[in-house]
Amino acid sequence: MSWLGPEEWQAVALSLKVSFWATLVALPLGTLTAYVLARHSFPGKQALNALVHLPLIMPPVVTGYLLLLTFGTRGALGSFLQEWGLVFAFRWTGAALAAGVMAFPLMVRAIRLSIEAVDPKLEQAAATLGASRLWVFVTVTLPLILPGILAGTVLAFAKAMGEFGATITFVSNIPGETRTLPTAIYGFLQVPGGEGAALRLVVISVVIAVGALLLSEFLAHRAARRVAGA
Partner 1 sequence: QITVFAAASLKESLEQIAASYERQTSDQVRLSMAGSSTLARQIEQGAPADIYLSANPDWMDWLQDRGLIDAATRVDLLRNRLVLIAPTRPRIKGLDFGDGRIAMALVDAVPAGIYGKAALETLGEWPALQSRVVQTDNVRAALALVALGEAPRGIVYQTDALAEPRVQVLAEFPADSHPPIIYPAAIVAGRDSPASQRFMAYLLSDQARAIFGAAGFAVMQADR
Partner 2 sequence: MSLSVRLSHRLPDFDLDIRFDAPPGLTVLFGQSGSGKTTVVNAVSGLLRPDSGRISVENRVLVDTENRVWLPPHRRKLGYIFQEGRLFPHLTVKQNLLYGRWFARAGGPAEDPDKVIDLLGIGALLDRRPGSLSGGEKQRVAIGRALLAHPQLILADEPLSALDEPRKAELMPYFERLRDEFTIPILYVSHSATEVARLATTVIAIDRGRVRHQGPAAEVLGDPGFRPQGSRSIGAILQAKVARHHDDGLTELDAGGASLFLPHIARDPGQPVRVRITAHDVVLATTEPVGLSALNILSGTVRDIRTGDGPGAIVSVDTRAGRILARVTRRSITALNLSVGQPCYAVIKSVAVAPEDIGKG
Residues engaged in binding a second copy (CB under 8 A): 46, 49-50, 53-54, 56-62, 65, 105-106, 109-110, 112-114, 116-117, 147-148, 151, 155, 158-159, 161-162, 164-165, 181-182, 185-186, 189, 198, 202, 205-206, 209-210, 213-214, 217, 224
Taking the complex as a whole, the smallest distance from the CB of residue 73 to partner 1 amounts, in Å, to 4
Residue 117 touches partner 2, criterion: CB under 8 A: no
The rounded distance, in Å, linking the Cα atoms of 141 and 123 is 7
Taking the complex as a whole, the smallest distance from the CB of residue 76 to partner 1 amounts, in Å, to 12
The rounded distance, in Å, linking the Cα atoms of 100 and 97 is 5
Based on C-alpha coordinates, what's the Rg of the chain?
Answer: 20
CB hemisphere CA count around 90 (13 angstroms): 4
The rounded distance, in Å, linking the Cα atoms of 176 and 172 is 12
Among 90-98, 158-166, 189-197, 221-229, which window interacts with partner 2 (CB under 8 A)? 221-229
Residue 168 touches partner 1, criterion: CB under 8 A: yes
Residue 157 touches partner 1, criterion: CB under 8 A: no
- The smaller minimum CB distance to partner 2, of residues 82 and 139, is found at 139
Residue 221 touches partner 2, criterion: CB under 8 A: no
- The smaller minimum CB distance to partner 1, of residues 155 and 161, is found at 161
Q: Are 55 and 104 in contact (CB under 8 A)?
A: yes
The rounded distance, in Å, linking the Cα atoms of 189 and 198 is 6
Residue 74: name its binding partner from partner 1, partner 2, a second copy, none (Cβ under 5 to 8 Å by kind).
partner 1
Q: Are 67 and 104 in contact (CB under 8 A)?
A: no
Residue 173: name its binding partner from partner 2, a second copy, partner 1, none (Cβ under 5 to 8 Å by kind).
partner 1
Instruction: Please list, in sequence order, all residues whose beta carbon lies within 8 angstroms of the beta carbon of residue 190, skipping any fewer than 6 positions away.
Output: none
Burial class (CB in 10 A: 0-12, 13-18, 19+), 4: middle
**Which stretches of the chain bind partner 1, using CB under 8 A?**
61, 65, 68-69, 72-75, 89-90, 164-165, 168-169, 171-179, 183, 186-194
